Structure 1
Amino acid sequence: MPRTTLPAALVLGGAGLIPFLGLSALVILGQPLAGLAPRPLLAAYGAVIASFLGGLRWGAAAASPEGRGADYGVSVIPSLIAWAALFAPAPWDLRVLGALVLAWGLVDQDLPRRGLVPAWLGRLRLVLSGVAGLTLLAAGFWGTV
């Protein structure tokens, strides 16, 4: 990441990947976490993060002088899809969430191009969404049900 990336964003963003990596590994290995099934924990965390990603667009729209209504509408899509994914049977819950997180990393690339967020945030989002989405997909394809 370039020097203009805020260190806190790098550290906190990276820390946010720990549950994705750990829980996905447990799902794939079929191992519980302190007696709890890791799949619903991973799905819940994925849904929360997907909602957070929508909130990023909402915040960018609110901070923008023009505050385009379309951005507000688009910003609720991840929350709605993530909520629906929680009702999907395994393995589709994690597959939908993985595809959503990956896709949303790309969807949000218009924000830095439009000057609504710093360029470094667009690059960071690609990396974070890539890792998070791929771990969800890996657990959804190779994990135990």
Structure 2
Amino acid sequence: MARLNPMPMGAIILGIAGLVPFLGFAALAVAGSDGGLGNLGLAPRTILSAYGAVIASFLGGIRWGAAAARNAGNGDYLIAIVPSLIAWAALAAPAPWDLRVLGVLVLAWGLIDQDLPRRGLVPRWLGRLRLVLSGIAGAALLVAA
């Protein structure tokens, strides 16, 4: 059974802060604006794609860490590398498929990881927080695609 402890304020604040790049760069990409980034040779869509891939890899790291902390089975370690591999492949995909793949990946991983609190590998609050954050981040990626 998943542990019942309160959601740490730091997790909430940092989780919300992690959405800012998704929302900001998606808004710029949809608006067709570079927000001044063109002066630096950057494009919001490219930054969004790279950020999405980094976060997808981080999501795999959550499962890896949970497996290591609770001595879970080898299957958890194998599953944990899937987001990194898919995200890496998405970076090589042409637009709009890069953001589509990343969006679906982030959305799906929020659901896939719901087994972690059910199995007691992470606290329940993490499962709920992940659904919200993954839902918003995945939607931002898909809207920008």
The residue correspondences of 1:1-145 to structure 2 (distance < 5 A) are 4-33=6-35, 34-35=37-38, 36-65=42-71, 67-140=72-145
TM-score by length of 2: 0.93
Deviates more, 1:56-65 or 1:33-42: 33-42
The answer for unaligned runs of 5 or more in structure 1 is 141-145
Partners in 2 of 1:30 and 1:61 — Cα distance?
A: 42
The answer for unaligned runs of 5 or more in structure 2 is none
TM-score by length of 1: 0.93
Alpha-carbon shift at residue 3 of structure 1 (Å): 7.9
What amino acid is aligned across from residue 115 of structure 2 in structure 1?
D
What amino acid is aligned across from residue 68 of structure 2 in structure 1?
A
Deviates more, 1:124-133 or 1:24-33: 24-33
Q: Please say if residues 5 and 123 of structure 2, whose CA atoms lie closer than 8 Å, have aligned partners that are also in contact.
A: no
RMSD: 1.2
Corresponding residue SS for 2:6: coil
What amino acid is aligned across from residue 5 of structure 1 in structure 2?
M
Deviations 1:29-58 (A, max 9, x none): 111132221111000000000000000000
Figure out how many residues of one structure are paired with residues of the other and give that number.
Answer: 138
What amino acid is aligned across from residue 15 of structure 1 in structure 2?
A
